[in-house]
């Protein structure tokens, strides 16, 4: 078991980070090359002003009409994404590992708050799962890969929660937690999870088109 832990926390972690950063860079460069080849006209109306106006407006809860029409979904979506990003970055055990490996550290959140945020992510995943199962309009655009991606996102938080409280075998769930986190990192550039990379660009494009060409708001 110790050898497996050393493998997933050592060589496999390096591979996951290399694929993550390399994959993100590849996807972004590929997108820019494709735009340059096929839709170069986009550059003529891209606007910093309208891009940031659109991005900032859409990341404010209830600022857009669509957010206001779906209040429960809006609350869950924002809580999910905030906790999904902040929890692993400001978790004390993660910061200690970074400090031991690369002598890099920063302040951490209290463990009790991190556990609450972890439960928010898990509960949000359950909400999204139920929504895909019972909402006709969401069912229509749902495929098997969407359920797999939901499991990939939930797994690091579920296993991390179990490992923290040392339920059902601490070492086993610690290894599973690290491995599931690495799977998620590798999946981000090459699946629909890549919206974390492309959504600001999409928002900038739409904001520029609506503001600079149509002279209208895009919300």
* CB < 8 Å & 24+ apart, contacts of 214-217: none
Mean pLDDT of 203-208: 92
So where are the chain's domains?
45-213
Q: Does position 183 have pLDDT exceeding 90, yes or no?
A: yes
Indicate the SS3 state at residue 37: helix
Query: Residue 93: which of 27, 178, 29 has the closest Cα?
Result: 178
Confidence of residue 199 (pLDDT cuts 50, 70, 90): very high
Taking only the tens place, the pLDDT of each residue in 78-134 is: 999 999 999 999 999 899 988 887 888 899 999 999 999 999 999 999 999 999 999
Burial bucket for residue 11 (CB in 10 Å: 0-12, 13-18, 19+): exposed
In whole angstroms, what is the distance from residue 93 CA to residue 72 CA?
A: 32
The overall average pLDDT reported for the chain is 92
pLDDT reported for residue 154: 97
Taking only the tens place, the pLDDT of each residue in 139-169 is: 999 999 999 999 999 999 999 999 988 888 7
Q: Does position 173 have pLDDT exceeding 90, yes or no?
A: yes
Indicate the SS3 state at residue 86: helix
Burial bucket for residue 113 (CB in 10 Å: 0-12, 13-18, 19+): middle
Domain 45-213 sits in CATH at 1.20.950
The torsion angle over the Cα atoms of residues 114, 119, 124 and 130, rounded to 10 degrees, is: 170
CB 196 within 8 A of CB 22: no
In whole angstroms, what is the distance from residue 163 CA to residue 125 CA?
A: 19
pLDDT reported for residue 100: 82
């Amino acid at each position: 078991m110790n050898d497996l832990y050393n493998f997933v926390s050592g060589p496999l972690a390096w591979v996951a980070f290399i694929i993550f950063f390399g994959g993100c860079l590849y996807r972004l460069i590929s997108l820019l090359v494709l735009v340059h080849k096929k839709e170069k006209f986009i550059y003529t109306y891209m606007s910093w002003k309208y891009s940031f106006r659109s991005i900032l407006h859409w990341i404010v809860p209830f600022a857009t009409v669509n957010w206001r029409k779906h209040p429960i979904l809006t609350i869950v979506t924002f809580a999910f994404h905030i906790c999904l990003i902040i929890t692993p970055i400001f978790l004390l055990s993660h910061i200690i590992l970074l400090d031991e490996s690369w002598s890099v550290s920063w302040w951490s959140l209290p463990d009790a708050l991190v556990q609450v945020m972890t439960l928010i992510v898990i509960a949000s995943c359950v909400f999204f799962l139920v929504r895909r199962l019972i909402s006709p309009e969401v069912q229509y655009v749902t495929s098997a890969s969407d359920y797999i991606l939901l499991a990939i996102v939930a797994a690091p938080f579920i296993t991390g929660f179990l490992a923290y409280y040392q339920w059902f075998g601490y070492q086993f769930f610690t290894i599973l937690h690290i491995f599931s986190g690495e799977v998620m990192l590798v999946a981000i550039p090459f699946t629909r999870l890549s919206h974390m990379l492309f959504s600001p660009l999409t928002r900038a494009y739409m904001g520029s088109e609506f503001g600079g060409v149509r002279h209208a708001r895009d919300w």
